[in-house]
A and B are shown apart, each in its own frame.
Chain A
Amino acid sequence: MGHIQLKQVSKSFGNIEVIPPIDLDIDDGQFVVFVGPSGCGKSTLLRLIAGLEDVTTGSIVIDGRDATAVQPARRGLAMVFQSYALYPHMSVRKNIAFPLKMARVPQDEQERLVEEAARVLNLTGFLDRRPGQLSGGQRQRVAIGRAIVREPAAFLFDEPLSNLDAALRVGMRLEISELHERLKTTMVYVTHDQVEAMTMADKIVVLRAGVIEQVGTPLELYRNPQNTFVAGFIGSPRMNLVEGPDAARHDAHTVGIRPEHVDVSSGSGMWTGTVGVSEHLGSDTFFHVTVKDLSQPLTVRAGGEVDLHYGDTIHLTPKLNHLHRFDDRGLRIT
């Protein structure tokens, strides 16, 4: 069980309101990702759910029970911190066993659960080491181990992968997703990396300046971004946003077209431009194209074998059924 509801929850530090009142429903078993640029309040929101910060107004309901004033430990949630927050003076074994020890779980039961968690997380050989003797990925797994032994109602992850290098990050991303598939426990995950959000989430919550910009599945956000912020934030490389006469022609203040939704031709097209930098990824090639009438260059995706070079002329045609239109407030026009 792990159904979390936020009802008109807000947070202020002194006179500064960092999170205006928010309503949010996290269903049992869901993998929910809070994503947004740094300083958008996503970590604060997670800490409010954890109980590490007091809410200013509103209430937090966990499994039908009002948990607003409940101590963090009593909320039945486990948290994995950005810095892992392992106890530096304890062995891996003691780190993982700590929440069990605090819950007065019998010694032999503790040992069994720790061994079990270590097995799942490939930590069996490291149980008697100190955190300082482990690599970043291993520390990360210890932190997760410490969270799973409690069998919490929900896991909270606060940017857990941001201290890992790129290769490890991809591996850990898979491990966490697998863990979710196996445990079916609610997970709330905070990140600033939209790729993590897209690949892991059942439901993404996009935040900016403490305000929820949009909530939806990864594909919903990809297909129907509700505003220019979400449009620019979700998807890689970023969506091209074009203003001016080209947008006006579509009755919009801004039109957006993703790099993968532009047809590239060396013959003719709607826009004519000059190839700038091209990034060859093997499977795909991204061209940064300067178009005469547009104020900023467009990014477009082409096949891996397209043979165009710096300074070549290129013709671009957006796929009109994939065009996103936004009004002068940046909101989607439907």
Chain B
Amino acid sequence: MARSVTTSRKTMTTLFAGTLGLLIFFPVLWIVILSFKSEGDAIKAPLEVLFSTGWTAESYSAVQARSDYPKHFLNSVVIAFGSTLLGLLIAIPAAWAMAFVPAKRTKHVLMWMLSTKMLPPVGVLIPIYLIYRDLGILDSRIGLVFVLMMINLPIIIWMLFTYFREIPGEVLEAARMDGASLREEIIHVLAPMAIPGMASTALLNIILAWNEAFWTLNLTSAKAAPLTAFIASYSSPEGLFYAKLSAASVMAIAPILVLGWFSQKQLVRGLTFGAVK
């Protein structure tokens, strides 16, 4: 198994992969740098930007002062966390039942649930838009929480199902043999074993909901607009204020970037529906 790789070869690989990685990562790095520059410095040539000495956090305060950034941030939080929590609430019992009390039709039910995820959002945009308009929940957090919960529900159920299914049945039987009542079985054995899977599922779902940019752009205008829509407002000439655009972008992606790095494995599982392990 372990064959020694020459140090020089390993160094070459590292250098090559590192350069490539840096290139791919560069845009993210770049906006972090720009966000700490003054507007004047930010539009200079790249090398001048790097070696201009002035570092300032003024763009961050400018973004916060302008355009009620905190409100949009809060909207993002409410929508991402709200839709995830609500989704878990509905998905946990369903996934649980399918994993532990499988019936003949379980597989079909599961596949059908997944198939609803394949529906292109644009195919149902108009009815949802009109229904929301008539209900008066256009541009409302509630409305977005519901939509995002619905579009991610299949993924949540699916992920939970795969996690629950991995809990060995023998351990639950052992608990039963050891005299645990159903309640004790859930509290002492099932929950501790299921919680990591639930946390992973929640994590991935928060990321997906945070970055969702079809429904959030189409169903909000001002009040309930999350960060995706807030950033989109920079597509106007305002976007030419590079430092401020950078600062706003960094604030919008930073939390999710951090969460995302923790969830690489779950990402594969969640987005391939278990088809790649």
Contact = CB atoms under 8 A, between A and B. Distances in A.
A77 B193 CA distance: 25
Interface string B164-207: 00001011011111111100100011001100000000000000
A71 B179 CA distance: 9
A52 B189 CA distance: 17
Contact of A150 (B173, B176, B178, B193): B178
B184 A102 contact: yes
A85 B193 contact: no
Nearest to B167: A88
Contacts of B178: 73, 98-99, 102, 146, 150
B66 to A, nearest CB: 49
A103 interface: yes
A126 interface: no
Nearest to B180: A102
14 contacts: A72-B173, A73-B176, A73-B179, A79-B173, A81-B170, A81-B174, A85-B173, A85-B174, A87-B193, A88-B193, A98-B178, A98-B180, A102-B178, A150-B178
Interface string A50-67: 101000000000000000
Contacts of A79: 173-174, 177
Would you list the 3 A-B pairs with minimal beta carbon distance, nearest first?
Answer: A73-B179, A99-B178, A102-B179
Chain A residues touching B, majority SS: loop
Given A52-B176, A146-B178, 18 more contacts: A52-B173, A52-B177, A72-B177, A73-B176, A73-B178, A73-B179, A74-B179, A81-B174, A83-B168, A85-B168, A85-B170, A86-B174, A87-B189, A87-B193, A89-B193, A98-B178, A99-B177, A102-B178
B193 A50 contact: no
Interface residues of A, number: 24
Nearest to A50: B177
Classify chain B: how many residues form its interface, as a range.
10 to 19
A240 interface: no
Nearest to B168: A83
Interface of A: 50, 52, 71-74, 77-79, 81-83, 85-90, 98-99, 102-103, 146, 150
A73 B170 contact: no
Contacts of A72: 173, 176-177
A128 to B, nearest CB: 17
A99 B174 CA distance: 9
B170 A77 contact: no
Contacts of A146: 174, 178
Contacts of A103: 179
Contact of A85 (B171, B180, B192): B171
Nearest to B185: A102
B193 to A, nearest CB: 6
Contact of A82 (B170, B188, B193): B170
Contacts of B173: 50, 52, 72, 79, 81, 85
A150 B177 CA distance: 11
A82 B188 CA distance: 22
A74 B181 CA distance: 11
Contacts of A73: 176-180
Nearest to A79: B177
A83 B167 CA distance: 12
A86 B177 contact: no
